[in-house]
């Protein structure tokens, strides 16, 4: 299953609903382009909803890191929402789980922005 992204606004926060695979190639490129476009348009409060992401490889992990640092460098904030067990475990073993702001409740994620 290829990557699909859908963006929506909730109380000034952009939620990006992601589904499928974030892997080298199309999935990673879509993620990068979407975050870049959001930031270019001034949307600097971003939540990546990964609840339907069933597979991620090292390139996908790199893309999440890139999205996080790019947003932060532009004065924004990016959170991750609804990690599947596979993604959760990957972020744990790569020691990135504590780097990201990870939420399991959308309302709490939206309220958590400064």
Partner 1 sequence: MEQTVSYTLDSTLDTVDNAEEKATRIATELGFAEDEVMQISMAVREGAVNAVLHGNAYAPDKKVILAFERTPEDLVITIRDQGKGINLSEIPNPLAPENLLKTSGRGIFLMRSFMDVVEIRPSQTGTEVKLIKHVHGPSGGGKEGSQ
- In this complex, which beta carbon is closest to partner 1, that of residue 42 or of residue 73? 73
The pair phi, psi for residue 63, each rounded to 5°, is: -70, -35
- In this complex, which beta carbon is closest to partner 1, that of residue 19 or of residue 84? 84
Element (H, E) at 20: strand 13-22
Q: Shortest approach of partner 1 to residue 41 CB, angstroms?
A: 23
The pair phi, psi for residue 57, each rounded to 5°, is: -110, -170
Q: Shortest approach of partner 1 to residue 34 CB, angstroms?
A: 16
Binding site for partner 1 (CB under 8 A): 23-25, 57-59, 61-63, 65-66, 68-69, 86, 90, 93-96, 99
- Whether 113 and 76 have beta carbons less than 8 Å apart is answered as no
- In this complex, which beta carbon is closest to partner 1, that of residue 95 or of residue 114? 95
Q: Shortest approach of partner 1 to residue 85 CB, angstroms?
A: 9
d(CA 10, CA 67): 20
């Amino acid at each position: 299953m290829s990557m699909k992204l859908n963006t929506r606004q909730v109380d000034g926060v952009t939620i990006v609903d992601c589904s499928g695979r974030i892997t080298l190639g199309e999935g990673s490129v879509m993620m990068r382009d979407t975050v870049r476009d959001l930031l270019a348009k001034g949307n600097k409060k971003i939540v990546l909803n990964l609840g339907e992401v069933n597979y991620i490889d090292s390139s996908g992990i790199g893309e999440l890191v890139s999205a996080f640092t790019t947003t932060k460098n532009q004065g924004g904030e990016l959170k991750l929402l609804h990690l599947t067990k596979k993604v959760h475990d990957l972020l744990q073993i790569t020691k990135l789980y504590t780097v990201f702001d990870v939420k399991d409740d959308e309302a709490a994620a939206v309220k958590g922005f400064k």
